[in-house]
Structure 1
Amino acid sequence: MNAPGWPGLSPTWASSAKDIVGTALGAGRVWYTIGYGILNEVFWPSCSLPQIRDLGFIVAGDGFWSEVKRENCYEISTLEPDIPLVRITHRHARYMLELECLADPSRDVVLIRYRLHGEDLKLYTLLAPHLEGSGYGNNAQVLPHGLAAMKGSSALMLAASHGFARGSAGYVGVSDGWQDFHQHGAMYWDYSVAPNGNVALMGELASGEGELALAFANTAEGAQTLALSSLASGWEIIRERFIDGWQRWTGELDPPGATDAQRDAVRRAAMVLKAHVDRAFPGALVASLSVPWGDTRDDPGGYHLVWSRDAVEAGLALLASGHAQAARNMLAYLIATQHPDGHWAQNFYCDGRPYWTGVQLDEAALPVLLAAKLADSGCLDGLQPQATSMVRRALQFVARTGPFSPQDRWEENAGINPFSVGVSIAALVAGVTGGFLEGSDCDYALSLADDWNARIEAWVYVRGTALDHQHGVHGHYVRIAPPGQTAQRSHVALRNRGTEELPARDLLGLEYLYLVRLGLRQANDPRMADTTKLIDALLRFDTPQGPYYRRYNEDGYGEHEDGRAFDGTGVGRAWPLLSGERGHYAVLAGEDPQPYLDAMLASASQGGMIPEQVWDSEPIEARHLFPGRPTGSAMPLVWAHAELIKLVATITSGEPVERLPAVAARYRTSSTPAQAHWREQAPCEVVDRGMPLLIEGERPFQLRVGIDGWQKPVDLDSEPLGFGLHGVRIDAKQLGALHALDFTRHFADGRGWEGHDWRIWLKPILKHRQATA
């Protein structure tokens, strides 16, 4: 009989608050998540594609019923920190429910062993299919061997070792199993089919203990075969193979000089990184097996996508934890997914299909650092030719696009920011010192890197602002400077805050700390110390567990003041990831980094999952929001776990994982670049009169240049530079300029004159020498 209530309520996902995530290391292609003590999203056949919302339990007897998820009284543990064999114990005055969860290494199956303790009670399963990544259009059916769902070319089957006494298929919010208990206090409905909607399945288990198998295939028959064969193989044998697979991968992971607590944290974090790697596409690593605020929305993308930035952060952490082959796999995957122009999509599915369409400079530069780090570690053998080709394309994109980035690392604003420009500078130098570039590209890359490095402060450092005076500092780095502008005289739109803007000089972030990690600036630089004093005063949130930091002041990505979920607007909360970034600086500045590491560890769930954000206001118990504890944002966040591994490595070695010796050596002392580079997206306002100036363009052009108000104009033809760019070198002294250069360009591709006059003011040589003495 068909269930009533088609098509059901609008679908949502499970809460993003995960206790733990896991997968088997073998041929099986399922990834599972646990939250509130039950199975949440299960991903198949890729870790980009969730197939269920959750699989939970109801315990019931005469006049009594209890949904274990809502009781929220349970304990969770794993066999070892780096083996995601999950043991869960739900406790209630009337019962105790013991669960153990793992994946079959040989089949696309998740297995759950269950044991119910209590008198005159029965156990019921609640399953919410979201096949092919959506709660819409699912078909649910009760079959002789279990509970099934189908949609398109995907199917699932939930089978039990002792079978189901009965089952029912329904529509969520109307005729599903939870509504049955809510309305009747018992299971009354036995609908056999619920087609084409947001569906749910309920089954009464024939025994209070046994095993469940949740299988996935392209047909219901295939899913049934996998489920039943997994059950037939035997729990203990599959369990042993699951443990063996993880033990062989983790090996003897033992960070030199680490404490026992640090060692366990690194082992668990490495497991989390590995659990986010795809099976069909080795090296593809998604940002999180969760959907931020998933229990309030139907987000088809979630965080289960690949970001090259997050992937490289994880790749560097894997390399630091002794998993060089995993980092090599990631580099090979990034080589395969690079766009012809050298950049990577903002994010993409594991098979390489783009999802969002933004472009971020750091996502093009970071893979170069991974290649260079592998080369420095002697781990690039066999990948050198392909890596060289990738690096050349990536650096061509960086050189032609930068220092401007269409989006910053938070995917919100266009402009120049310390993080993106910093990794771009390091990548340009690494391309040369790592032997990836040749010919004119080498000379140009170093010249461009030197120029950008010398101009960082001109773009994103301000002095004498109201904030500086208020906190007794001379100046500070800002989060971002808008395109073609400096931070001193510009405004930045605040994402997720409607039409609000803030002066760029008042917008603080932790992006500047990467300049020290990369070796572009020294930790004892007064500008670093001053900015750190400001972010400690304005972005820091202290808890008994330790300090956390907000991304920037007036951030809008997070829960509302009353704890309502982020819905496109909100209030940015504190990020444990940023505690790690502050901890790195603490190591390099001679401070105690332990409080920052402790804060990261204290933010984690029972199973050790570190969230994207923690609550940074008064507790709201009804919404499970407590200071220093996870919010509804992504959990676990792969980037945060990578940051933890790297922070422990930096604490024990004193050297950041991202730092390349050749880059740090080049910028250990401030040096004047050989020439200044002018380009439209980052124009020079002032240059030294004695410094050669390179006017650049993406295609051949003729430059008309005059001095001091268009006197003595001359026409000069551009010449090829590195990376396919073109330019004209000018010596202001030879032209006789005293105060300014005026110029415009005529392009040979039919565009003609660009219709804009540019001016560069000249700084007297004497003042320059005094300033740098």
Structure 2
Amino acid sequence: MNAPGWPGMPPAWSSSAKDIVGTALGAGRVWFTLGYGILDEVYWPSCSQPQIRDLGFIVAGADFWSEVKREQHYTLSTPEPEVPLPKVVHEHARYKLEFEVLADPLRDVVLIRYRLHGEGLRLYALLAPHLGGSGHDNTALVQAQGLAALKQNEALMLMADAGFARGSAGYVGVSDGWQDFQQHAAMTWTHASASNGNVALLGELNASHGVLALAFANTLEGAQTLARASLAHGYESARHGFIEGWKQWSRGLRCDIKDATARAAVRRAAMVLKVHDDRHHPGALIASLSIPWGNTRDDPGGYHLVWARDAVEAGFAMLACAHHEETRALLSYLIATQQDDGHWAQNFYTDGRAYWTGVQLDEAALPVLLAAKLDELGLLDGQRAAATAMARRALRFVARIGPFSPQDRWEENPGINPFTLAAAIAALVAGAAHGFLDARDARYALQLADDWNTRLESWVYVQDTGLDRAHGTRGHYVRIAPPGQDAQHSEVALKNRGRVVVAARDLLGLEYVYLVRLGLRAANDPRIADTTRLVDALLRVQTPTGAFYRRYNEDGYGEHHDGRAFDGSGVGRAWPLLAGERGVLAAQAGADARPYLDAMLASASLGGMLPEQVWDSDAIPARGLFPGRPTGSAMPLVWAHGELIKLVMAIQHHAPVEQLAAVVARYARAREPELQLWRPQAPATQCAAARPILIEGDASFVLHIGHDGWQDVRDIASTPSGLGMHGALLDCAALGGHDSIEFTRRFLDARDWEGRDWQLALVR
């Protein structure tokens, strides 16, 4: 009969604190995660689609019962850093439970080989299906063959080689197996089904040792067939294929690092990047096989999506390890998922469907840098035509939107920020230098890059602020300058703090380090050094595991003060990946970067997974929060693992892998731009009378212009300037004794007049 308690309590996912993640390098299409010593979310048929919340165990005897994940007394080991084959051993006063987890290389099946030690004990498997990426509307069934679940055209089957003695289906929080044990200290319910709700399954195993097979298919029959076939083929056969697949892959890793700890860390980090790559869409590198604070919410997106920025950051790390084919596959995937106007969706499923639709300019620029790096290394053969078309579209988008970005790299604020600006400038130079642009577009790209590079400090650098006076610095780079405003006199509303307003000049972040990393500024530039002094004073957090950095002062993305999960607001915590960014800057400056690497390594889980954030306040043991240890944020974070690889390589080779020779050469010395460029996204209030200025627009227009209070009014027709932009060129030197230029524009499309006047002071 059907279990009582429909539809069950509101569903949630498992904790994002993962011990380890894994997949097989074969035809099988399952990705598994472990957390708190049990199997957490399993993804199928892509790494964007979680299908269960967790699969854990209950151990029971005549006088006690124990859910193993709540005991939290276990160890985890793998054969090699780069082989994600976890062996877990749970120790208890009454029992020892050990098991090993792997994905069948040939089938869509997760296998668990288990053994329970202890007298008079029974082992129970506790499974929570979340088919279709949600805990809603699942149906659980107890069948003769095993425990099953289905939802529309997705199904799973859990089978045991020795079978189940009995099973029960129920609704979570009401009639599930855990509630049965909680209320009766034993399994007393044997409900045959639980339909269309948030469901769970409990099965009493016939044997204290054996193999479980969790299979996924579009039908129950298909899942049953896969599970049976996997068990019939044998665990040892699957194990051998799993290990050999990873060993063969790892032979291509270039890891010429003398330090054994760093070498193992790089090999493990490279494995994490590989695990997050989709099987059906090669190159679809998701951000994390986790859902931040997942145990508190039913988030259908989580981090198991592709962000172009995170993917490219990881792509550079793969290049650093000489995994060229993975990087080329990533580039092909990015080419395939580019939007028609040249940008990429904020994030998207592995098949290319957009999830969030925000626009971030860095996500349009970074793929161009990746293509250019492949070309610099001589690895673009066969992809050049497609990469060229991609770069042209992307750079047209950058030229049209930049230097302003509707969102910064943290997806929170519009404006101009150093990280995005550095990526955009470098991409424009790379597009020209690597032959992605024709002659006119290339010349314009360099003019635009030089103009933005020259004006960079006018947008995102401030001087003689209260922070500077308090810390003995002359000025500093800010996190972001709001749209159309200068950072010295503007304010920023903080998204995760209820729109609390902070002066832009007082908002610090590590975005500026990319000015050095990409070769636009020298590591010993006094402005960089002063900003670093402030960042170390205000964003650095010392913990027992090392020093980490917050994204920015007044951040609200993290747990609340009392440890409650982030719920749209909170307190921003410290990030290991930012310790990596700070470490690369130290390496570029010739300083000791090893402490930053050691901190990153010390933040990792039992299986070496790096978290998005670590707890940076007093310990709250009841919530599992300890200083310098992972919070409920995403873990593992692919970007953090990529940053670890890049930090080790920067220490080893004294240069960041992202640097392009053409960009470094262009800005090794101060460069006077050929033109001044004006656009409303970042309007200037003055221009040099000695140099020409190009008034720009994204379509044909007529410039209506006058001088000194609209005298000598005339019209000038724009002409194409490059990358889809149009401009009206003014020879400022020919304006004689005039002190100002006034103008407006009439576009030759549906917009007509832009509806406002602009003024530029002529500076001599």
TM-score normalised to structure 2 length: 0.99
Asked whether 1:149 is paired with 2:149, we answer yes
1:727 corresponds to which residue? 727
* 8 Å CA contact 1:258, 1:648 repeated in 2: no
Match of 2:289, SS? coil
* 8 Å CA contact 1:549, 1:576 repeated in 2: yes
How far apart are the structure 2 equivalents of 1:88 and 1:136? 30
* 1:749 CA drift (Å): 2.0
* 1:386 CA drift (Å): 0.5
1:567 corresponds to which residue? 567
* 1:739 CA drift (Å): 2.4
1:636 corresponds to which residue? 636
1:767 corresponds to which residue? none
1:260 corresponds to which residue? 260
How far apart are the structure 2 equivalents of 1:592 and 1:544? 19
* 1:721 CA drift (Å): 1.0
Matches within 5 A, 1:310-349: 310-349=310-349
| 1:542-587 alpha-carbon deviations (Å, 9 max, x no partner) | 1232210000000000000000000011000000000000000000
Matches within 5 A, 1:282-431: 282-431=282-431
Instruction: Specify whether residues 737 and 269 from structure 1 end up closer, same or farther in structure 2 by C-alpha distance, changes over 3 A only.
Output: farther
* 1:591 CA drift (Å): 1.0
* 1:33 CA drift (Å): 0.1
* 8 Å CA contact 1:482, 1:492 repeated in 2: yes
How far apart are the structure 2 equivalents of 1:436 and 1:254? 29
* 8 Å CA contact 1:22, 1:33 repeated in 2: yes
The worse-fitting range, judged by mean Cα deviation, of 492-501 and 635-644 is: 492-501
The worse-fitting range, judged by mean Cα deviation, of 723-732 and 280-289 is: 723-732
* 1:590 CA drift (Å): 1.4
How far apart are the structure 1 equivalents of 2:381 and 2:112? 42
2:542 corresponds to which residue? 542
| 1:467-516 alpha-carbon deviations (Å, 9 max, x no partner) | 00000000000000011111011110101111311010000000000000
The worse-fitting range, judged by mean Cα deviation, of 358-367 and 702-711 is: 702-711
* 8 Å CA contact 1:650, 1:657 repeated in 2: yes
* 8 Å CA contact 1:513, 1:585 repeated in 2: yes
Match of 1:215, SS? strand
* 8 Å CA contact 2:688, 2:732 repeated in 1: no
1:672 corresponds to which residue? 672
How far apart are the structure 1 equivalents of 2:480 and 2:386? 34
Match of 1:5, SS? coil
2:699 corresponds to which residue? 699
* 1:671 CA drift (Å): 1.3
* 1:252 CA drift (Å): 5.2
Kindly tell me the number of residue pairs found equivalent between the two proteins: 764
Asked whether 1:458 is paired with 2:447, we answer no
How far apart are the structure 2 equivalents of 1:475 and 1:678? 26
* 8 Å CA contact 1:258, 1:652 repeated in 2: no
Match of 2:502, SS? strand
1:754 corresponds to which residue? 754
Match of 1:145, SS? coil
2:686 corresponds to which residue? 686
* 8 Å CA contact 2:292, 2:632 repeated in 1: yes
How far apart are the structure 2 equivalents of 1:258 and 1:394? 40
How far apart are the structure 1 equivalents of 2:739 and 2:235? 82
Match of 1:239, SS? helix
How far apart are the structure 1 equivalents of 2:387 and 2:754? 38
How far apart are the structure 2 equivalents of 1:473 and 1:738? 38
| 1:86-122 alpha-carbon deviations (Å, 9 max, x no partner) | 1000000000000100000000000000000000000
Match of 1:84, SS? coil
* 1:672 CA drift (Å): 1.3
2:246 corresponds to which residue? 246
* 1:220 CA drift (Å): 0.5
* 1:750 CA drift (Å): 4.6
* 1:621 CA drift (Å): 0.6
Match of 2:409, SS? coil
1:768 corresponds to which residue? none
1:770 corresponds to which residue? none
Q: Which amino acid aligns with 2:82?
A: D
Q: Which amino acid aligns with 1:343?
A: H
* 1:10 CA drift (Å): 0.2
* 1:708 CA drift (Å): 2.2
How far apart are the structure 2 equivalents of 1:483 and 1:578? 26
Q: Which amino acid aligns with 2:205?
A: L
How far apart are the structure 2 equivalents of 1:669 and 1:74? 56
CA-atom RMSD in angstroms: 0.8
2:207 corresponds to which residue? 207
* 1:737 CA drift (Å): 4.6
How far apart are the structure 1 equivalents of 2:395 and 2:435? 13
* 8 Å CA contact 1:708, 1:737 repeated in 2: no
Q: Which amino acid aligns with 1:65?
A: W
How far apart are the structure 2 equivalents of 1:499 and 1:406? 16
Instruction: Specify whether residues 452 and 48 from structure 1 end up closer, same or farther in structure 2 by C-alpha distance, changes over 3 A only.
Output: same
Q: Which amino acid aligns with 1:493?
A: A
Match of 1:640, SS? helix
1:51 corresponds to which residue? 51
* 8 Å CA contact 2:266, 2:648 repeated in 1: yes
How far apart are the structure 2 equivalents of 1:750 and 1:157? 58
* 1:254 CA drift (Å): 4.3
Q: Which amino acid aligns with 2:432?
A: V
| 1:717-765 alpha-carbon deviations (Å, 9 max, x no partner) | 111110121101111221225422111112222533222110112222x
* 1:465 CA drift (Å): 0.5
Match of 2:432, SS? helix
How far apart are the structure 2 equivalents of 1:750 and 1:187? 71
* 1:705 CA drift (Å): 1.7
1:524 corresponds to which residue? 524
